[in-house]
């Protein structure tokens, strides 16, 4: 039996790896490259917008809070696209942090704070988010967006 190309049976996970120096100006270029990969995954425009928001926030956190803008430190990214989900990992070389200690920016007492909404956006726009501290050091944020119709 001939197997049809493009059948979901033959969609395997495809991973792309990127890295960026810890400079604010580098965020846009890498986020744009990731957005291009995401657009090829067939995700809806609205979902892709959310993923782009989450990616930019995760990259900014890695560059600023993780690597403390130290240009000798890289932020490493992997984007894995499979039939039913998109997984993006952002790894920095920082000391790590506990996301549970980040105050809820939507609480009345935090509404007028000028920062602290990045992680909120990451959580809001992705379906699953995990912060990992791998044994080799640094922090990895693992973000998953599931396809609406797997």
Partner 1 sequence: MAELNISERQAGDVTILDLSGKITIGEGSVALRTAIRRMLEEGKKKILLNLGGVGYVDSSGIGELVSSYTAINKDGGQLKLLNLTQKIQDLLTITKLLTVFDVYESESEALNSFK
4: DSSP letter: P
Cβ atoms of 1 and 41 within 8 Å: the answer is: no
- The correct pick among 41, 43, 51, 57 for binding partner 1 (CB under 8 A) is 57
- Does residue 24 interact with partner 1 by CB under 8 A? yes
Neighbouring-strand partners of residue 76: 19, 91
> 2 or 148, CB closer to partner 1?
148
- The correct pick among 98, 101, 114, 149 for binding partner 1 (CB under 8 A) is 114
- Give the interface size with partner 1 as a residue count (CB under 8 A): 22
> 3 or 111, CB closer to partner 1?
111
Region of residue 31 (phi > 0: left; psi between -120 and 50: alpha; otherwise: beta): alpha
- Does residue 28 interact with partner 1 by CB under 8 A? yes
Place of tokens 């501290």: 133
Cβ atoms of 62 and 118 within 8 Å: the answer is: no
- The correct pick among 7, 12, 98, 115 for binding partner 1 (CB under 8 A) is 115
- The correct pick among 37, 120, 131, 144 for binding partner 1 (CB under 8 A) is 120
Indicate the Cα dihedral angle 58, 60, 63, 68, nearest 10°. -110
Contact residues toward partner 1 (CB under 8 A) are 24-25, 27-28, 49, 53, 56-57, 60, 105-106, 111-118, 120-121, 124
């Amino acid at each position: 039996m001939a197997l049809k190309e493009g059948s979901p049976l033959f969609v395997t996970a495809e991973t792309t790896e990127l890295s960026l120096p810890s400079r604010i100006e580098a965020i846009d270029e890498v986020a744009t490259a990731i957005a291009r990969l995401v657009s090829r995954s067939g995700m809806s425009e609205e979902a892709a917008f959310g993923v782009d928001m989450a990616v930019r926030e995760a990259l900014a956190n890695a560059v600023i809070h993780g690597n403390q803008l130290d240009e000798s430190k890289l932020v490493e990214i992997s984007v894995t696209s499979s039939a039913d989900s998109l997984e993006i990992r952002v790894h920095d070389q920082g000391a790590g942090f506990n996301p549970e200690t980040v105050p809820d920016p939507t609480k009345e007492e935090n509404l007028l704070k000028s920062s602290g909404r990045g992680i909120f956006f990451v959580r809001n726009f992705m379906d699953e988010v995990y912060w990992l501290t791998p044994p080799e050091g640094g922090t990895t944020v693992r973000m998953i967006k599931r396809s609406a119709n797997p």
